[in-house]
Amino acid sequence: MPGYYLVCRKHMNFHYINKQSPLILASASPRRERLLAQTGLPFRPVASDVEEEGLSGEPEEVAQILAERKASQVALQARNSWILGADTMVVVDGEILGKPRHREDAKRMLWRLNGRGHRVITGFCVLNPLAAVAHKEAVTTLVKVKALTGREIDAYVKTNEPFGKAGGYAIQGIGSFMVSHISGSYTNVVGLPICSMIEALLSLRALEGFPIPHKSHRTEEDASGL
């Protein structure tokens, strides 16, 4: 689903994201923090506390609504900042699989995914420094899980990795053993579609450019004095 822009920057002069004015990540997810850290983008995490269950509607719409709610809640604590909220969900046969509540719930989810394809949808929302919605988008990745045995499912649940993960597995962890292939963004499955997010920030002119140069990093040309 293509993103859309709700605030025009033409007559506004917002600051760029930088070390003095980092992007605010409205999440306590260590996975999203690691993904953003890998980009070199200056950011600061601020945990949000939004109820993720009980909404009805198309998964893409629900993911974007939750992302906006997370970002808006954090905006009260981080004024005059660019803010990013995100929500990831796993969908199989129209059923949204959230985070497993206990071991039996985790096993149920894994049996639902067993030997089948499913969608991983991440909705993300960017608020500008006036706390207005500047961009919302939902990105979908198709994931195929291999045929699992009951023994594999039981053993995986005992690692405790399924807990705190939508759909009950982590593609970036032990759970990678069960993913036979994907179609789409890998980072989207982890929790944040980096490519789409960077494109949105550049289009909004929240970033002056990307990648962001690090002055402390000397190139071979610098070292040779050329």
Which residue do the tokens 């071991």 mark? Answer: 103
Which residue do the tokens 């032990």 mark? Answer: 174
155 class by beta-carbon count within 10 Å (0-12 exposed, 13-18 middle, 19+ buried): exposed
Say how far apart CA 166 and CA 190 lie, in whole Å.
Answer: 10
Catalytic residues: 87
In angstroms and rounded to an integer, the radius of gyration of the C-alpha atoms of the chain is: 19
Say how far apart CA 201 and CA 130 lie, in whole Å.
Answer: 15
Say how far apart CA 174 and CA 164 lie, in whole Å.
Answer: 14
* Pairing assessment for the beta strands 23-25 and 83-92 based on DSSP bridges: parallel
Say how far apart CA 86 and CA 84 lie, in whole Å.
Answer: 7
Find the helix or strand (DSSP H, E) in which 107 lies: helix 103-113
